[in-house]
Amino acid sequence: MNDKIVIIANGSITGINFHKKLLEDADLIICADGGANTAKKMNIRPDYIIGDFDSADSSILDFFKDQNTNIIKDQNENKTDLELALSLAESLDPREILIIGAFGDRIDHTLANILCLTKIKAGVKAKMIDNKNIIELVEKSIDIDGEKGSIISIVPLTDVSGLSYSGMKWLLSDKNTKFGWFGISNKLTKNNAKVSLSEGKILVIHIRE
Domain check: are 163 and 123 in the same one? no
User: What Rg do the C-alpha atoms of the chain give, in angstroms?
Assistant: 18
Tell me which residue range forms the domain holding 200: 138-207
Structure confidence at residue 44 (pLDDT): 94
Same domain membership, residue 116 and residue 15: yes
Last residue of a domain, one of 81, 108, 131: 131
Domain boundary among 81, 109, 131: 131
Q: Give yes or no: residues 15 and 44 share one domain.
A: yes
| Contact by Cβ (8 Å): 105, 10 | no
CATH number at residue 194: 2.60.120.320
Question: pTM of the predicted model, to two decimals?
Answer: 0.92
What does the pLDDT look like over 34-62, one tens digit per residue? 999 999 999 999 999 999 999 999 999 99
Same domain assignment for residues 10 and 88: yes
Write out residues in the chain with pLDDT < 50, as ranges. Answer: none
CA angle (134 as vertex; 13, 42 as ends), nearest 5: 25
- Percentage of the chain lying above the pLDDT 70 cut: 99
Q: Domains in the chain: how many in total?
A: 2
User: Do both 53 and 86 map to the same domain?
Assistant: yes
Rounded to an integer, what distance in angstroms lies between the CA atom of residue 200 and that of residue 198?
7
105 shares its domain with 35? yes
Based on the fold, state whether residues 110 and 163 are members of the same structural domain: no
